Chains A and B, each alone.
Chain A
């Protein structure tokens, strides 16, 4: 027997309704670029692995890094991934509730701490790489 339970109909474009919902959907979309870049890294590693025995003048690893399609994808992905970082750190006070004695640590301190860590990590990685 079919259930008589009422299921509210929902259109696929419900999220175009207002700015909040559009921003929510944009945040969810960032995950596609996060995964896309992970796939690009897998391709890079595969190209790197085939690099050593190839004849002189052939460089699959360098070609992949300099490939215009890869660069365009990364330049599009970058703002989405930064949007992911910002929305993620802004939510940290909701996920992490700390108490110092009786007093709750300010949400600003928790989010701010994550932003500071982000800057520190990025600078350290740049120093290692450059």
Chain B
């Protein structure tokens, strides 16, 4: 049987899907609905964004769901008929998720910007 790195990407897809399913809806509610009706002010959210535990939470909520997208979107594009560009699509999708992860890590560690 040919070796495949599919299980690796699938594991990230699964982890990201679970993280997004459990944590993303409520986080969106906080940063949109609660901000709109002033139940959560930017000052309050700012205090949270400075907290190291919240930064770890944000890192997980950014990185894993991006890999979830990469894996799902990759196959969607192929399903929509871009079979010829299969290779570049995979590189572009997983590459974007890797780049997003790296940028998030640098920003959250305060190394960049």
A residues sitting closer than 8 Å to B (CB atoms) are: 10-12, 15, 25, 28-29, 31-32, 34-35, 37-42, 44-46, 48-51, 59, 61-62, 65-66, 70-71, 74-75, 77-78, 81-82, 84-85, 88-89, 95, 114, 117-118, 121-122, 125-126, 129-130
Contact = CB atoms under 8 A, between A and B. Distances in A.
A12 B25 contact: no
Chain B interface extent, by class: 35 or more
A84 to B, nearest CB: 6
Contact of A35 (B29, B49, B66, B79): B66
Which of B17, B23, B30, B70: most chain A CB closer than 10 A?
B17
Secondary structure type dominating chain A contacts? helix
Given A70-B32, A74-B32, A81-B25, 7 more contacts: A34-B65, A37-B28, A41-B61, A42-B100, A49-B113, A65-B42, A78-B29
Contacts of A130: 34, 39-40
Interface string B13-57: 010111011111111111111111001101111101110000000
Contacts of A15: 79
B26 A121 contact: yes
A85 to B, nearest CB: 4
A61 to B, nearest CB: 6
B26 A35 contact: no
Given A66-B35, A78-B28, A88-B21, A46 B107 contact: yes
B21 A45 contact: no
9 contacts: A28-B76, A38-B69, A41-B61, A44-B31, A70-B32, A71-B36, A78-B32, A85-B21, A126-B26
Nearest to B107: A45
Contact of B49 (A44, A71, A118): A44
**Which 7 residue pairs of A and B lie closest in terms of their CB atoms, listed nearest first?**
A62-B42, A35-B69, A74-B32, A122-B26, A31-B72, A88-B21, A85-B21
A28 B72 contact: yes
A62 B21 CA distance: 27
B98 interface: no
Contacts of B63: 38
A36 to B, nearest CB: 9
